[in-house]
């Protein structure tokens, strides 16, 4: 019967010790925090990633400024015609909120042509004019005929 009683004794003594520790806790030794710098920096805390329980907007809004909205219409003034013949460029009136990158993409999507560069200006009447210079292998006159501005 030695092992059972020994085990029993150990368990009992352990339990007794634990009970004592709970009743009379050991005195807490307060350690002084060593400050090596004069300034106090905000301690880093846990940053959780967003995990929303519901989307705030039920569906994302549709893109309002699409290719069709960017290019309003081509210009057919005499100076614009000159640009087509001499400088291989097309002249468009574009939406004022369009930037050169959007204009470049819109022209590519709508007419399947590559642009060399786009210059823009805002006219005094509030419309944006875009000079779209085409690459050398594309003839602006052909494209103009295809679009309908002759």
Partner 1 sequence: MVKIKVHELRTKSKQDLLVQLKDLKSELALLRVAKVTGGAPNKLSKIKVVRLSIARVLTVISQTQKAKLREAYKNKKYMPLDLHPKKTRAIRRRLTKHQLSLKTEKQKKKEAYFPMRKYAVRA
Q: What is the contact surface with partner 1 in residues (CB under 8 A)?
A: 53-59, 62, 66, 68, 71-76, 110, 147-150
Minimum Å gap between C-beta 14 and partner 1 is 49
To the nearest 10°, the Cα dihedral for 18, 20, 22, 24? Answer: -150
The residue (of 71 and 130) whose beta carbon lies closer to partner 1 is 71
The residue (of 126 and 148) whose beta carbon lies closer to partner 1 is 148
132 bridge partner residues: 90, 118
Minimum Å gap between C-beta 110 and partner 1 is 7
Minimum Å gap between C-beta 82 and partner 1 is 16
To the nearest 10°, the Cα dihedral for 77, 80, 81, 82? Answer: 130
Pair 116, 87: CB distance under 8 Å:
no
Pair 118, 102: CB distance under 8 Å:
no
The residue (of 29 and 57) whose beta carbon lies closer to partner 1 is 57
Residue for token pair 């000079």: 131
Minimum Å gap between C-beta 108 and partner 1 is 15
The residue (of 9 and 97) whose beta carbon lies closer to partner 1 is 97
């Amino acid at each position: 019967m030695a092992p059972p009683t020994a085990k029993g004794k150990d368990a009992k003594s352990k339990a007794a010790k634990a009970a004592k520790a709970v009743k009379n806790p050991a005195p807490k030794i307060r350690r002084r925090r060593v400050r090596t710098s004069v300034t106090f920096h905000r301690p880093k805390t846990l940053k959780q990633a967003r995990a929303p329980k519901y989307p705030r907007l039920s569906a994302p809004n549709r893109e309002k400024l699409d290719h069709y909205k960017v290019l309003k219409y081509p210009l057919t003034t005499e100076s614009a015609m000159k640009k087509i013949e001499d400088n291989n460029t097309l002249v468009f009136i574009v939406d004022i909120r369009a930037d050169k990158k959007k204009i470049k993409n819109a022209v590519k999507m709508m007419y399947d042509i590559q642009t060399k560069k786009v210059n823009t200006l805002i006219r005094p009447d509030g419309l944006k004019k875009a000079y779209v210079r085409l690459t050398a292998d594309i003839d602006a006159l052909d494209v103009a005929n295809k679009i309908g501005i002759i």
